[in-house]
Amino acid sequence: MDYDLLDSLSDEALVQEIQCGKLDAFGILYRRYHNEVHYRVLMIVDKPEDAQDIAQDTFWKVYQQLPTLRLECKFRSWLLTIAKNYSIDHWRRLGRDKSFLQSLDSEFVEWEDKASSPEESVIGDEQLKDALQQLKPQLREIVSLHMQGYTFEEIALRLRLRVGSVRTYLSDARRKLRQTFPSRRRVLKKDPISNGLKHNE
Partner 1 sequence: MSQSCDEWEDKLATTCVNQLSPTESEALHLHMQTCRACFNMYTEYLVIDGYLQRSFADKPVPSVVPKSKLTTSTCSSQDRVAEWSFLKSWQHWLQDPSWLLVGIATLLGSLSFALNQTISPAPGANAILALSLILAPIGGMLFFRAISSSPLNTHGVRLAVIAGLSPEKIGATADARKTISATHVEEYVPLVLETEKRKRSVWQSNRSQPKRAWMSLRVMFTLLLVLLAAGASSLGVLLRPSTSRNMAALSTGSIVFDGGRQDAKLKLQAAQALAKGNVAEAENLWKQAVLVDSGDAEAWIYLEDQQVLDTHQPYITLVIGTILSKGYVSGGRDDLQGAYMAQKQWNEQAKRSGKMLLRLLIAAGSDETSPAAVAQQVVQAARQDQTIKGVLGWPTSSSAAATIPILAAAHLPMVSPTASSDTLTGSPYFFRITPSNKDQGIVAATYVQQVMHASRIVLFVDPHDLYSKNLYDGFSSHFTGNGYTLIKEQYQVGQPASLPNLVAQALQAKPDLIFFAGYASDVSVILKTLPTCSPAQKQCPLVMGGDALYLPGEYSVTALANYSLLRFTSSVYPGLAGASGNQETLFQQTYAKDFDPNKQYQAGTYGYNQTEAHTILSYEGVQVLLHASQVLLSSGKIHFSPDDLQYALKQIDRSRPVQGVRGPIAFEPDGNNAYGRVVVLAGKEGGGVHRVYP
Tell me whether residue 26 or residue 91 sits nearer to partner 1 (CB atom): 26
Tell me whether residue 47 or residue 158 sits nearer to partner 1 (CB atom): 158
Task: Give the residues lining the site for partner 1 (CB under 8 A).
Answer: 2-4, 7, 9, 13, 16-17, 20-21, 23-24, 26-27, 30-31, 34, 56, 59-60, 63-64, 124-125, 128-129, 132, 137-138, 140-141, 143-151, 154, 157-160, 167, 170-171, 174-175, 177-178, 180-181, 183-184, 192-193, 197, 199-200
Cα→Cα distances 107→112, 172, 183, Å = 9, 41, 26
Judge whether 41 and 51 are in contact, CB under 8 Å.
yes
Tell me whether residue 115 or residue 147 sits nearer to partner 1 (CB atom): 147
Tell me whether residue 103 or residue 179 sits nearer to partner 1 (CB atom): 179
CB of 76 to partner 1, least distance (A): 18
26 vs 17: CA distance, rounded Å: 9
CB of 100 to partner 1, least distance (A): 28
**Who's near 169: CB < 8 A, 6+ residues apart?**
138, 139, 142, 161
By CB atoms closer than 10 A (0-12, 13-18, 19+), residue 196 is exposed
